[in-house]
């Protein structure tokens, strides 16, 4: 292939709801650019993009796929993204390195939930976007519905560059209001014939052209002056204004297409090569230390890794964007994270599973390499090793399950396979939970985890099962309580002896140090000699006061008391869950000149804390998540009823982008398989996000149930 300079490169993320035709659009792009000499199709499972077995089995994209084509003597890097929310991590990673998006809209369905999800992401990254209304030749195509949905969202910023002549079986051409020509297509070959716009469509074309000229002029003062003077703009002037409007997010062009027939795709790509931003025209990505590193060939050689793929017979393929400088085959670069050098033994440009070796890549280009020693997604390699770009911020998990191998002894094999899959899909998160004594797998939905299970069984040859995970409850107390405990053991030779007396109470930030307590009707004056603050790894605090006077307990035994308390907090007295937000005042005790030792005081502290805890109004806290649901209005009632059955507390309702938005607080214990339930209730037309909010006390009846279940579990184990 040709060598391309930074200003000859366009990086595009292909976006849209599942079924919008992205993979077929990409196939057209490669065919039109001569990268492939024969088009594949999704039905025959021979497309360049969806080449993996899992994608053939599921007949939809699962991973984002890097491709490229060559149009107008420019290289267009295309990242084809899955349309399902379960695989939105690929979209986020793609937008980290793409410079604009092409959003495909299925003319049969209009603005779908997947469109909304991807629109949110592209807004988050502040990238330009072009809309393509696809499948206009389908018998259920509805151009008007699709355009109205876009107009409702983008108001006066939508710019119709094209409109169809007919739709469905009547679709026979596209009017382009920049060129003021009609593309008349042979739907069997997809090849256009440029003809004059028929008289019946001329008024509509002129009206849309005038709107486009005004919008283009609004983005440039000099163009505005020309427009006021001449009341029009030339084609080149229009492109200049559109380019600026596209770049600053003030203009959203709309095109027409039928990707199945290869209709309109080349014109859309030509438009992108004419007005789409090159990498050096985009805002500079700041590094972790806030410095600017311009995307220029003259800069220091530097690459950022945004994706890893594990390919048969090759292993890891690492995908990167050249952030600055020029990288060459055989170059040594330093990893800013590990400070180790990595050699780029081979450089590739990628079209699906097809790799073409190249000797070098210039700033802004996207490529891949193999056989790196210890470079992962989010790593930066540079000549000096001093440039480090921020990590990609992936969506928070929404679905969790516990996993275990079906065959005894496969635990290590399963763990290794999960780690490898996480490298390929970082939105799958693996937690070997010491607290829950389970492996917890989290992802974007049940389908997402089912894809993981398929990979475990078919690629890594380990069978596993998912099951409902335990909930990470927390335990704490609501009132003050005191206790004393004597540990005494004599079994020949040196014995064990330790006695402690303590008071425990709920801890709240900012509360004053204790001065006295009333225990068993007696007032006990407290003299704080030392205060220790222990932030807990699982959240919350343990505050420990040494209030020992007169040497009742030697100072060298106090760490053992704290250790005993911490052990019991790590395995709470109620349900074995972590305890938190407690302060302890150790005010008295006894020791033996011979038999006292650290183990004695650790056990005394542990048991005294346990007894006091049970008398201090103990309560179980459950994790509460902040939930946001976007749902079509006709399904609002069903979704609300379902949330009420999940103990959700609705915080608010509003309208957004044609959807009803529900915000609520809901216990994690009630969210098992929520993604599946929501999809069933709304025929897949709703979406949701959730993130941890706080811990809150469980209702009394649920606490009683949890206590009974824990007691039964303890009895079974003994």
Q: Which two tokens stand for residue 372?
A: 């790196």
- Answer yes or no: are the C-beta atoms of 182 and 175 closer than 8 Å: yes
CA–CA gap between residue 173 and residue 190 (Å, rounded): 10
Among 577, 378, 628, smallest CA distance to 470 is for 577
On whether both 509 and 610 belong to a single domain, the answer is yes
Q: Report pLDDT digits (tens) over 233-290.
A: 888 888 888 999 998 889 999 999 999 989 999 999 999 999 999 999 999 989 999 9
State mean pLDDT over 410-432.
Answer: 95
Q: What percent of the chain has pLDDT over 90?
A: 78
On whether both 273 and 236 belong to a single domain, the answer is yes
Name the pairing type of β-strands 158-160 and 252-256.
parallel
On whether both 639 and 606 belong to a single domain, the answer is no
pLDDT score recorded for residue 190 = 56
For 235, which DSSP code?
H
CA–CA gap between residue 683 and residue 661 (Å, rounded): 17
pLDDT score recorded for residue 481 = 95
pLDDT score recorded for residue 492 = 67
pLDDT at 132 over 90: yes
Q: Report pLDDT digits (tens) over 623-650.
A: 999 999 989 889 999 999 999 999 999 9
CA–CA gap between residue 675 and residue 656 (Å, rounded): 20
pLDDT score recorded for residue 657 = 67
Q: Which has more pLDDT, 221 or 126? A: 126
Within-domain flag for 707: no
Q: What is the residue whose two structure tokens read 């040859």?
A: 461
pLDDT score recorded for residue 580 = 95
- Answer yes or no: are the C-beta atoms of 334 and 367 closer than 8 Å: no
On whether both 257 and 114 belong to a single domain, the answer is yes
On whether both 417 and 556 belong to a single domain, the answer is no
362 three-state secondary structure: strand
Strands (E) in 33-161, as ranges, are 65-71, 74-80, 100-106, 129-134, 158-160
Neighbours of 2 (CB within 10 A): 9
Those residues whose C-beta lies under 8 Å from the C-beta of residue 359, and which sit 6 or more positions away, are 328, 329, 347
Q: Report pLDDT digits (tens) over 27-62.
A: 999 999 999 999 998 888 999 999 998 999 888 899
Within-domain flag for 288: no
Q: What is the residue whose two structure tokens read 């390699």?
A: 381
Within-domain flag for 316: yes
Q: How far is CA 682 from CA 59, 439, 444, 641, 676, in A?
A: 22, 31, 17, 13, 10
Within-domain flag for 292: no
On whether both 506 and 448 belong to a single domain, the answer is no
pLDDT score recorded for residue 3 = 84
State mean pLDDT over 557-569.
Answer: 96
DSSP assignment string, 111-125: S-HHHHHHHHHHHHH
Average pLDDT, the chain: 93
Name the pairing type of β-strands 474-476 and 578-579.
parallel
CA–CA gap between residue 266 and residue 76 (Å, rounded): 12
Enclosing domain of residue 313: 302-349+358-382
pLDDT score recorded for residue 479 = 95
State mean pLDDT over 4-17.
Answer: 97
CA–CA gap between residue 575 and residue 619 (Å, rounded): 10
On whether both 604 and 624 belong to a single domain, the answer is no
Task: Kindly report the CATH number assigned to the domain that includes residue 610.
Answer: 3.30.230.10
Within-domain flag for 542: yes
pLDDT at 213 over 80: yes
Within-domain flag for 391: no
Of 617, 638, 669, the one marking the end of a domain is 617
Of 617, 646, 663, the one marking the end of a domain is 617
Of 416, 447, 470, the one marking the end of a domain is 470
What is the number of H-type helices and E-type strands within the chain?
Answer: 16, 38
Burial of 195 (0-12, 13-18, 19+ CB in 10 A): exposed
Among 52, 91, 69, smallest CA distance to 2 is for 69
CA–CA gap between residue 72 and residue 79 (Å, rounded): 19
Q: Report pLDDT digits (tens) over 152-211.
A: 888 889 999 999 999 998 998 999 999 999 998 776 665 778 899 999 999 999 999 999
pLDDT score recorded for residue 343 = 96
pLDDT at 550 over 90: no
Q: What are residue 254's DSSP bridge partners?
A: 131, 160
Confidence band of 310 (pLDDT split at 50, 70, 90): confident
On whether both 430 and 339 belong to a single domain, the answer is no
Task: Kindly report the CATH number assigned to the domain that includes residue 100.
Answer: 3.40.50.300
State mean pLDDT over 519-530.
Answer: 88
Q: Which two tokens stand for residue 55?
A: 């994608």
pLDDT score recorded for residue 235 = 81
Provide the domain count of the chain: 5
pLDDT at 718 over 70: no
Task: Give CA angle at 660 (654, 661), nearest 5°.
Answer: 60
Task: Kindly report the CATH number assigned to the domain that includes residue 317.
Answer: 2.40.30.10
Q: Which helix (H) or strand (E) holds 413?
A: helix 411-424
pLDDT score recorded for residue 189 = 63
Task: Kindly report the CATH number assigned to the domain that includes residue 404.
Answer: 3.30.70.870
544 three-state secondary structure: strand
For 514, which DSSP code?
P
On whether both 130 and 274 belong to a single domain, the answer is yes
On whether both 178 and 313 belong to a single domain, the answer is no
Within-domain flag for 563: yes
Q: Quick one: three-class SS letters along 580-603?
A: CCEEEEEEEEECCCCCCCHHHHHH
On whether both 41 and 180 belong to a single domain, the answer is yes
State mean pLDDT over 341-355.
Answer: 94
Task: Kindly report the CATH number assigned to the domain that includes residue 664.
Answer: 3.30.70.240
Q: Read off the pTM.
A: 0.87
pLDDT at 615 over 90: yes
On whether both 62 and 182 belong to a single domain, the answer is yes
State mean pLDDT over 355-380.
Answer: 96
- Answer yes or no: are the C-beta atoms of 183 and 174 closer than 8 Å: yes
Within-domain flag for 538: yes
């Amino acid at each position: 292939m040709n060598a391309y300079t930074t200003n000859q490169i366009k990086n595009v993320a292909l976006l849209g709801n599942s079924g919008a035709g992205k993979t077929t659009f990409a196939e057209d792009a490669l065919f039109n650019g001569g990268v492939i000499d024969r088009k594949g199709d999704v039905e025959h499972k021979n497309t360049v993009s969806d080449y993996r077995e899992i994608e053939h089995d599921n007949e939809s994209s699962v991973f984002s796929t890097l491709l490229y084509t060559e149009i107008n003597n420019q290289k267009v890097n295309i990242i084809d993204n899955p349309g399902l929310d379960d695989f939105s991590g690929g979209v986020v990673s793609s937008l980290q390195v793409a410079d604009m998006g092409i959003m495909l809209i299925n003319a049969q369905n209009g603005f779908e939930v997947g469109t909304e999800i991807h629109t949110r992401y592209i807004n988050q990254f502040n990238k330009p976007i072009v809309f393509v209304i696809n499948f206009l030749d389908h018998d259920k195509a509805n151009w008007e519905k699709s355009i109205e949905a876009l107009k409702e969202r983008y108001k006066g910023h939508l710019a119709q560059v094209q409109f169809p002549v007919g739709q469905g079986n009547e679709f026979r051409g596209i009017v382009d209001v920049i060129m003021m020509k009609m593309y008349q297509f042979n739907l069997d070959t997809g090849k256009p014939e440029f003809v004059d716009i028929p008289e019946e469509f001329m008024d509509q074309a002129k009206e849309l052209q005038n709107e486009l000229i005004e919008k283009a002029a609004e983005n440039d003062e000099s163009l505005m002056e020309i427009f006021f003077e001449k009341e029009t703009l030339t084609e080149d002037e229009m492109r200049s204004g559109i380019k600026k409007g596209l770049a600053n997010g003030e203009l959203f062009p709309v095109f027409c297409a039928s990707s199945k027939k290869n209709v309109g795709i080349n014109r859309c790509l030509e438009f992108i090569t004419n007005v789409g931003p090159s990498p050096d025209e985009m805002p500079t990505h700041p590094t972790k230390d806030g410095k600017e590193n311009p995307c220029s060939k003259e800069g220091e050689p530097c690459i950022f890794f945004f994706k890893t793929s594990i390919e048969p017979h090759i292993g890891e393929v690492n995908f990167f964007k050249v952030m600055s400088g020029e990288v060459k085959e055989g170059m040594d670069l330093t990893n800013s994270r590990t400070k180790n050098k990595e050699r780029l033994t081979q450089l590739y440009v990628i079209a699906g599973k097809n790799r073409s070796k190249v000797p070098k890549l210039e700033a802004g280009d996207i490529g891949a390499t193999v056989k790196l020693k210890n470079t992962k997604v989010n790593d930066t390699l540079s000549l000096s090793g001093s440039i480090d770009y921020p990590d990609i911020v992936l969506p928070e998990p929404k679905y969790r399950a516990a996993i275990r191998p079906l065959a005894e002894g496969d635990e290590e094999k399963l763990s290794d396979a999960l780690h490898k899959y996480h490298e390929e899909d970082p939105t799958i998160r693996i937690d070997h939970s010491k607290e829950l004594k389970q492996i917890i797998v989290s992802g974007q939905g049940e389908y997402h985890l089912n894809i993981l299970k398929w990979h475990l069984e078919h690629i890594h040859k380990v069978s596993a099962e998912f099951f409902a995970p335990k909930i990470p409850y927390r335990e704490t107390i609501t009132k003050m309580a005191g206790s004393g405990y004597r540990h005494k053991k004599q079994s020949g030779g040196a014995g064990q002896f330790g006695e402690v007396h303590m008071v425990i109470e709920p801890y709240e930030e900012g509360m004053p140090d204790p001065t006295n307590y009333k225990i068993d009707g007696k007032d006990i004056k407290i003299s704080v000699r030392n205060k220790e603050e222990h932030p807990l790894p699982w959240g919350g605090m343990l505050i420990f006061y040494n209030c020992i006077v007169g040497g009742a307990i030697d100072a060298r035994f106090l760490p053992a008391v704290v250790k005993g308390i911490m052990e019991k907090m790590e395995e709470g007295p109620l349900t074995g869950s972590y305890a938190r937000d407690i302060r302890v005042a150790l005010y008295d005790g006894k020791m033996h000149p011979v038999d006292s030792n650290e183990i004695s005081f650790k056990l005394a502290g542990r048991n005294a804390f346990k007894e006091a805890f049970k008398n201090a109004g103990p309560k179980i806290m459950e994790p509460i998540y902040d939930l946001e649901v976007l749902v079509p209005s006709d399904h609002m009632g069903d979704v609300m009823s379902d949330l009420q059955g999940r103990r959700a507390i609705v915080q608010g309702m509003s309208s957004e982008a044609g959807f009803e938005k529900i915000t609520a607080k809901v216990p994690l214990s009630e969210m098992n398989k929520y993604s599946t339930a929501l999809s069933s209730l709304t025929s897949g037309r709703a979406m949701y996000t959730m993130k941890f909010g706080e811990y809150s006390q469980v209702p009394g009846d649920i606490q009683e149930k949890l206590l009974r279940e824990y007691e039964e579990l303890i009895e079974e184990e003994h």
